[in-house]
Structure 1
């Protein structure tokens, strides 16, 4: 057997080569791990690009929210005497719409509000009690949607201007607006599901539609309370309940739905939207309670 004997010069060469290799590996590892941290950090700050926070006039922070189980609480009169308050409040996040109150209705609808989706037409109602919404309920995230004419940011958007003033007055309030691109995206969803162009057909998407889309972006599973399916009002003697659980003097729910469904211009297509939700529920983690139904029950 032949033994390889290295000279002192050769030993120094190989030792130097090993040191250089080790340093290269260490530098590569450090670069990779720092890159990984940067990617994770950027991912954490990306958020949902369809929703931008208003903070003292700045519009550069996206909504960053994630919930395992959500309760989406309808404003429907179906929630009267529902006795679902404790069940709703146990879920990770609770989503409500417009100015639907909890005070005095806790037994039926719960008391917790994580997100509140607000129509441009309901902003004045929120501002009537702005101290409660933006100060006492400071942990709630508010997401405001509206047409471009009301939400434009060039000083001519009437609703955007008053929201901006509220954000400046209550800097800790978490107020977001739905972007024009997200509005257009929701219009596209409606057209894909119905085959009808929303604007050409004279339809206005409801706050419920924007809320359901937001919930699907934020929640792993959605428990919807107080929402009827699209066949409910066609049943014999459906339960007569008010359109909103907190406005008992207003038009009955099914009558309101029929009026809007048949309106040639400017009507919400509540019944059509319920059929869409039923289709989504058939392949997404969406569950309906009080009344209970499934996507298969909707006849969609």
Structure 2
């Protein structure tokens, strides 16, 4: 695969976790679930050495529940487009994107992003890492389906790749705001920061939780 020069120039000097070294001891990944509201876990989240947030979720006004520290912002292509096309207030974090295998994504979103923010750290997961992550997802999905005698949607959440990335660079990973969403859960909104209606026809949230629990057999992952 031929990568555009602009993206090659944005590569870090060394790969993350090079030579098996761990970059961070304790890490938190903060999801966007409305169940975070009222939990008052902000201080606990901020005590981690590194904090990753998903899809550039806002924190101002919700610091008590979700914290304020952000080391990494992990985003899918839809939110990459939002960052590119709108005046999103940027924070001091490393931007991470994973859907770089598509030439269209690279040319229409990621190259323009690198040009728009030349002074920002914008990094990309290797396509091979993403493919292996997908293989792992489908293997674990089959295991869960066999155990529960049911079928789930195929598409993994962005959070899967965020979790896999952090397991490579952290000694331990705590997950916040990853509760399985169902439309019957009327007491909590879909996101903690807006009133958007939740969708369950694309992702299988309960499957994702089971997958993260299975990953805990190999990695120190805790669902808070």
**Which structure 1 segments of 5+ residues have no match?**
1-51, 261-266, 290-300
CA contact (8 A) 1:221 1:285 kept: yes
Give the structure 1 partner of residue 149 of structure 2.
none
1:68 aligns with 2:15: no
Give the structure 2 partner of residue 221 of structure 1.
172
Of 104, 124, 146, which residue of structure 2 is paired with 1:177?
124
Give the structure 2 partner of residue 19 of structure 1.
none
Equivalenced residue count is 208
Deviation at 1:129, TM superposition (A): 4.8
Normalised to the residue count of structure 2, the TM-score between the two structures is 0.80
Give the structure 2 partner of residue 25 of structure 1.
none
Deviation at 1:89, TM superposition (A): 0.9
What is the RMSD computed on CA atoms of the aligned residues? 2.9
Deviations 1:135-156 (A, max 9, x none): xx23x111112274xx32xxxx
Deviation at 1:174, TM superposition (A): 0.8
Q: Find the structure with the greater CA-based Rg.
A: 1
Higher relative contact order (CA 8 A, sep 6+): 2
Give the structure 2 partner of residue 209 of structure 1.
160
CA contact (8 A) 2:175 2:223 kept: yes
For residues 107-186 of structure 1, what are the structure 2 equivalents within 5 Å?
Answer: 107-129=64-86, 132-133=89-90, 137-138=91-92, 140-146=93-99, 148=101, 151-152=102-103, 157-186=104-133
**Which structure 2 segments of 5+ residues have no match?**
18-22, 144-151
Q: Which structure shows the higher helix fraction? A: 1
Q: 1:82 to 1:180 in 2, by over 3 A?
A: same
Q: Which structure shows the higher strand fraction? A: 1
Normalised to the residue count of structure 1, the TM-score between the two structures is 0.61
- Measure the CA separation in 1 of the matches of 2:53 and 2:84: 17
